[in-house]
Amino acid sequence: MSIHRNATNRSTQNRKSADVRMGNIQKENFSKASGTGRGQARAGQAALPAALAFVDTLSAEIDTALEIAEPNPHLNMVAALLQAHLSGKIITATMLISASGVPYATARRKLQQLQDCGFIEQRARTRSGRSFSLHPTERLMNNWLQLSDRILRLCAETGGTGAKDARDYYFGASYVPASQAIAPPQVLPEPLQLGGGLRILVHGDPTFMVMENLKRQFEQIIGTNISQRAFSIDRLRAEALRNAERRVSKYDIIAVDLPWIGEFAQKGVLMPLDECLDTDRLDTPDFHTAGWMAAHWGGRPYGVPSQTTPELLFYRKDLFAEAGLEPPDTTDKLIAAARHFHAPQQGRYGIAWNAARGTALGHQFLMTCADFGQPIVNLDAIAGGFAADTAHRRDIAPTIDTPLALDACEFLLSLLEFSPPDILSMSWYERVRPYAAGKIAMAYGYTLLAPYFERDPSSPANGNTGYLPHPAGPEGQPVATVGGYVMGIPANIAPERRAAAAEALIAFTSPEAQKLYILNGSRTAPRYSVGADPEVRRISPIFEAVDAMSLRDELQYWPRPPIPQIAEIIEICGQELHDMLRGVLTPRNALRRAQARAEDALK
């Protein structure tokens, strides 16, 4: 089968970049996976663009060398279709016929052959059904993913990358342990019918901004326009509550911080999932247990995990190795390490954390109490922590003014000594930016913030960061408090939009979509299958670390129980503890004031 392209339509830039692309391909170590199935293929989607680029460039080179070669319309149209699909662009039959390199009648016949063989499907673009867009089927995607794997492996084997790569394969069989990579998202069989398009309310964090950057691709997947509004955490909650008071929701899907589940369920902000979709379609056992359980209230799920992002301790492995220090697994060792690395005269500080007044410090205090074994309300003790799934009990009461909470306060005051001078104004992002700049040796941070240094080659923390659950106090155990967001459907959504919103929700939270977010910069993986994907594992060590914490039962959501008053209690603690850190209140007085105000809130 000859491979041909119309060379006159090629830019010389493509041919000049062939060596560069080939070099990039040779640098990748693509392990061959076994088995196929829905949503899975032998090679992952990161390999496909590189293989397409290689085939594209190779076709141009062959066309130049063999001027008598005949066009291959099947290959030309399939390559154009896949490139459009991966870039989120709409492509029509006319466009594919133009890319075929053969006369119109021949191209039309070849295109029909591809459709008859089940490689290309069409979808109506208008209500009249007279205009169609074309999309690759799952069969075509799987076939090309397998081809991509073989192309890149052959390039690596023949490119002189070393004997080790060649020994990994023996007559097409891999000595590498079998694994399965998740394929790219597929278009829905029917476009969603939503007047004005799909409307989403989200938090303005890196993962949801990745979704915004991929909007065109997801518009192609679901077949309608997407409008996404992003707010800071406090404004997001206020807007969600305000939306619930409207007669009809402005949004089809809203992002919900995990601790808000109880409040939003009781106030009728969210619709229970089992009223709007079949939860079996979500493959719920695939979600991290803590993340899925945190989406429940009163035994019913109210959202689908979109981000499962535990708060961890980021630490500089290179600095610890140079100092001969072990990574800290207790609060005492953490203080000792912070003291060792704290050198203000050299512009370096021991540790950064959430100490800004209000919501930020409130979250930090609840997690620190958990490090010392103290829940913020009277949850029942169980193996591995406390029973947050019973937080809807009527006898829930605050447990803020306790000896263990006092230990947590003393710990925060100790951290203050080895923190940057602007620590009392540091919140979510401010604590990680100086860590990424190399000014801080350790920082508490959610995994979704890791791109600040993992995707910045100039960062001293790039490739030098270790990930740990929170070090434990004397009465506690290591805990990685689950944070992040679920995506749910507003209770007051217009009835005629409910079914389409549910389909979009399933598509956005699927393993295929979650992997796509990660390939484009996210560092959250709410599903075990996504964290175990070989391509995902190659991107960052954070996914393997989080999966290991989940298996050790260190991922917990009880430190921030989803009681309806949790947002108010977090704010109260963030205010009183901030006065403590400023020296206005003693630790005991701060805890007493917070306890009294929390009791009033619960009444």
Tens of pLDDT, residue by residue over 423-451, are 999 999 999 999 999 999 999 999 999 99
Element (H, E) at 231: strand 226-231
From CA 265, how far away is CA 391, in angstroms rounded? Answer: 13
From CA 79, how far away is CA 100, in angstroms rounded? Answer: 10
In the chain, the percentage of residues whose pLDDT exceeds 90 is 60
Please state the φ and ψ torsions of residue 184, each to the nearest 5 degrees.
Answer: -65, 160
The pLDDT value given to residue 394: 87
- Cα 542 to its chain centre, rounded Å, is 11
From CA 127, how far away is CA 135, in angstroms rounded? Answer: 18
Statement: the pTM of the whole predicted model exceeds 0.75: no
**Of residues 13 and 477, more confidently modeled:** 477
Residue 158 pLDDT class (50, 70, 90 cuts): low
3 state DSSP class of 408: helix
Q: What is the pLDDT of residues 308-367, one digit of tens each?
A: 899 999 999 999 999 999 999 999 999 999 999 999 999 999 999 999 999 999 999 999
Answer whether residue 515 shows pLDDT above 90.
Answer: yes
3 state DSSP class of 535: helix
User: Which tokens go with 123?
Assistant: 């979808």
From CA 368, how far away is CA 383, in angstroms rounded? Answer: 19
Residue 9 DSSP class = G
The pLDDT value given to residue 392: 84
3 state DSSP class of 174: strand
Q: What is the pLDDT of residues 15-57, one digit of tens each?
A: 333 333 333 333 333 233 333 333 333 334 556 777 777 777 7
Give the residue-averaged pLDDT of 83-90. 75
The pLDDT value given to residue 170: 34
Residue 73 pLDDT class (50, 70, 90 cuts): confident
3 state DSSP class of 193: coil
In the chain, the percentage of residues whose pLDDT exceeds 70 is 84
From CA 386, how far away is CA 441, in angstroms rounded? Answer: 32
- Cα 198 to its chain centre, rounded Å, is 21
From CA 17, how far away is CA 7, in angstroms rounded? Answer: 15
From CA 114, how far away is CA 111, in angstroms rounded? Answer: 5
From CA 438, how far away is CA 347, in angstroms rounded? Answer: 9
Three-state helix/strand/coil letters over 276-320: CCCHHHHCHHHECHHHHHCCEECCEECCEECCCCCEEEEEEHHHH
From CA 161, how far away is CA 169, in angstroms rounded? Answer: 14
Ordered by where they begin, the domains of the chain are 7-182 (1.10.10.10), 198-307+483-528 (3.40.190.10), 311-481+565-602 (3.40.190.10)
Q: What is the pLDDT of residues 363-404, one digit of tens each?
A: 999 999 999 999 999 999 988 789 998 888 889 999 999 999
Angle between helices 566-581 and 359-371 (to 10 degrees): 90
From CA 474, how far away is CA 329, in angstroms rounded? Answer: 11
Q: What is the pLDDT of residues 203-260, one digit of tens each?
A: 988 888 888 889 999 999 999 999 999 999 999 999 999 999 999 999 999 999 999 9
Residue 418 DSSP class = T
The backbone region for 319, taken as left when phi is positive above 0, alpha when psi lies in -120 to 50, beta otherwise, is: alpha
- Asked if residues 493 and 271 have their Cβ atoms less than 8 Å apart, the reply is yes
